[in-house]
Amino acid sequence: MSAFVVEPSKRGIAGALPRAAARAVLLVAGLALLWGVWEGYRWLGIRGHWTWPFEVNDTNMPHISKIWHAFGQPLQPDGPPLRHYLWHWAIFTGKEALAGFALGAAIGFFLAVALSQSKVVRRGVLPYIVVSQTVPILAIAPMVVVGLGTKGVTPWVSVAVIAAYLTFFPVAINTLRGLLSPDPEALELMRSYAAGRWKILWRLRVPTSLPYVFSALKISATASVIGAIIGETPASLQGGLGYAIVNFNQYYSIQPANLWATIIVCALLGIVFFLAIVVLERLVLKRAPENFA
């Protein structure tokens, strides 16, 4: 008597297809729901003359169709459409955010490693790390741009530093928590085999901290995009999403759809960064032991 056997790889592909289809349906349904909520709130606000928390009108809440239509409209007569400019501006801002994200993640990780090795250092330095995040980024950004500018640093590097400022904190705090999370019995076992401080760090603490690290990276990925957009304003860069927001804000009262289209692109850029970390997390933790994943 023979039985029909499906190879594991084929079973995985067959199972992945329905999941992908379900996610696509949920995505479409979610977008349709957001569209309906926007248009419904707009309709009720205009009919009811709502003024709180903001006045609902064609300027503050244009039709979604008008925002979508703005992507195909030229900024100048006989010029390329708005989506052409937004694409290049998004790439420009994305490069700054990526550089800041890499720098901030590296600083946060190695800072957490240093703090995990000494309780005295941790108690002395950690409060200052927390206090550093209480200063508004809008106040720090001009100081960073002007300060680094006097040293001959190019403006985009200053923007990357601002993005790194928003990135390092979540990585440092979550990584530190992960490095201090191993089971005491596992630590005792490592010490019983005469494992030194660095072997315990790289063979036990770091693998255990990986889920914490990736959770922080997901937060920092979107924060780096925000930092880059904010940093472009004092840097006076003429080729980024921050520049586009400032520029279109000047014409918001007569052409609000361009600003809303830029905001959508900013959100999409943050989503792309987030999804990149999700993919990286799955690749790294795919074969991790169950107690580490």
Between CA 185 and CA 53 the distance in angstroms is: 54
Q: What confidence score (pLDDT) does residue 47 get?
A: 93
Read off the DSSP letter of residue 258. H
**What pLDDT, in 10s, does the model give residues 99-119?**
999 999 999 999 999 999 999
d(CA 150, CA 141): 14
Position of tokens 């979107």?
Answer: 222
Half-sphere exposure of 228 (CA within 13 A, CB side): 34
Give the whole-angstrom CA distance, residue 124 versus residue 118: 10
* 251 compared with 102, residue with greater pLDDT: 102
Would you give the distance in Å from CA 167 to the centre of its chain? 9
Is residue 164's pLDDT more than 50? yes
Amino acid at 273: F
Note the pLDDT of residue 287: 63
Secondary structure class of 74 (helix, strand, coil): strand
Segment 1-28, tens digit of pLDDT: 444 454 554 555 556 668 878 888 998 9
Give CA separation, 17 vs 13, 14, 22, 205, 278, in Å: 6, 6, 9, 37, 19
Q: What is the pLDDT of residue 2?
A: 47
HSE-CB at 33 with a 13 A cutoff on CA atoms is: 6
pLDDT for 176:
96
Task: Decide: pTM greater than 0.85.
Answer: yes
* pLDDT tens per residue across span 50-85: 988 889 999 999 999 999 999 999 988 888 999 999
